[in-house]
Structure 1
Amino acid sequence: MRILLAPMEGLLDFRLRDTLTRVGGFDECVSEFIRVNNTLLPSHRFYRYVPELHENCRTRSGVPVKVQLLGSDINCMAENASKVASLGAYGIDINFGCPAPTVNRNRGGAALLKEPDLMFAIVKAIRKAVTANIPVTAKMRLGYDSTEQALVCAKALEEGGAEEIVVHARTKTDGYKPPAYWDWISKIRSTVNVPVVANGEIWTAEDAKRCQEVSGCRDIMIGRGAVANPALALMIRGKRNQNLSWDEIKEILYLYWLNLEKTVDTRSRGGRIKQWLHYLSREYQEAKRDFEIVKRFTNLDEFTFYWKQGR
């Protein structure tokens, strides 16, 4: 079994990748999407999203990171894939799943699920643009507003040259509302001959097991579940039988805050911590209490005093 860590725009970036992979249990990560429009991006743009490129494209705990691209211009996507490959990318992932309206209005992410021929062309161009030793993978949803073309889209990705497909088991219209339709992943697995990774609504080790049974997938990708429970990957593997203690979570939060200090302004750091506490509140009552306290903080000294000096 492989467990992949998903990106989350505006939260699960390289800083949180570093934090969660230190906890352990992950085999691979995927970066936040890098938007490709009509130009060849400068190197610093790739390094900004994926600073792990400086370290053999691995987190500090040694977990490899694929670089995810999003866009609809075939040639431009291929050129940028070639560029990031030359910078040392571990792999290239293509985003056909983002449901954000601003992305979809600009013909990106899940909007391309309405154009399987274009999906095929993008994957084929990227596969041709990078050397064979660099894997090219794709992430898709079950469709835009229906599952009518789910199998067609998956087949287009395979025929274009995708070596693995991550399937988020909802349509764009479904957003992130439960349930996830894992049975559709099973249908996709029966249609393609490349590995399929199951994604969507995996919050517990029991969810992971049920997802594997229903989808038939051995490999899974988790995102929100890992943010809500940093030990989830270890629990899925059977290496832990309970959550981290709140004292352990507090220490992780503090180290994350220090990591944010290097590149994020004080106000934005507070927003990131509040986002994380929001997810943690699914598993920890203490997170709800601490959210009410932390949301008033405006500087690092307050945060340091709170986490290190107690209540």
Structure 2
Amino acid sequence: MNKETTAELEQVKHDLTKKEMALKDTTAELKRVKNNLTEKETRLTLGSNPENAEIKDAIYLHNKSEEQTYRRALSFKSSKIITKGGGRIEIKGTDVSLLVPPGALLEDCKIHIQIISGNLDTGDDVTFASNSAVIVELTPNNFEFQTAVELHLPHCLQLKENFTSESMEVFASHHHPKASPHWERDTAVKFELQQESCKLYLKKFCWVTFRINNEIVEAKRLKIFTVGSKVIDTDSETTVHVGYFADVPGNEDIFTDENITVGQYKPFWFKKEKPTPLVIFLKYLTPNEWTNRADASRKAQRKYCILNV
């Protein structure tokens, strides 16, 4: 191969390298433009047509009265292999746990426990005390134990001093994994009601929760939240949604969409006998340069601001 041919080949390689680099730059630019368009489309959707906003769809899960919606709270689950000698499994940070005593299993078994977001009571069945306890899914589904296992579930109610365990009911569903739950009162399950939680003694795995009689309740712990669409540096206005839900583990896990920015969660007690309806006041925005421009409104000038309630 002569020197001229070698020089030509080197020039061709050089030109190809430049074209490859230019192509990579073009691809990166196209990706950046696409991402910007996606963000703008999201903001337009939230700003011009909030009825279709993904934020409202998420909040709507907590307000449906006729049609029930359940979803697994992905960050609230745990699994563990329990031996014949027994053991304990818990979902950290939730006060949900399962104690398997020695002799309850004939052989080692991997047990899964997961919190479910949803409501036991809907429509005309709803009272002040409704939907205040955790719903959990225990698998393997329909697995039977030799002796009862102890399931510890929290609730968000403040009970009167003279409450008794007879003032609650246990509900279970042994439905197919792909079917909707069919709740039935389970009178065979023994239980102990406590001021902040309940112990259930189960012989069989299923979906399970409990309902506390409204007559023994004084107050309910709720969580106010503020959420809005994600914003970028050039944004001067966004739509902010304010609402509340029962303060039990799993409820806040609905805010997992990448287009949603959570501003604040704030727990408080709402008294049952309070004469006025629940009203949420916005005290101020942080930082101070952003101002609330609400007219019934959920609009506020801000960039990643926190609404304090």
TM over 0.5: no
Q: Which has the larger radius of gyration?
A: 2
Select the structure that is richer in helix: 1
Bin for the TM-score computed over the shorter chain: under 0.3
Select the structure that is richer in strand: 2
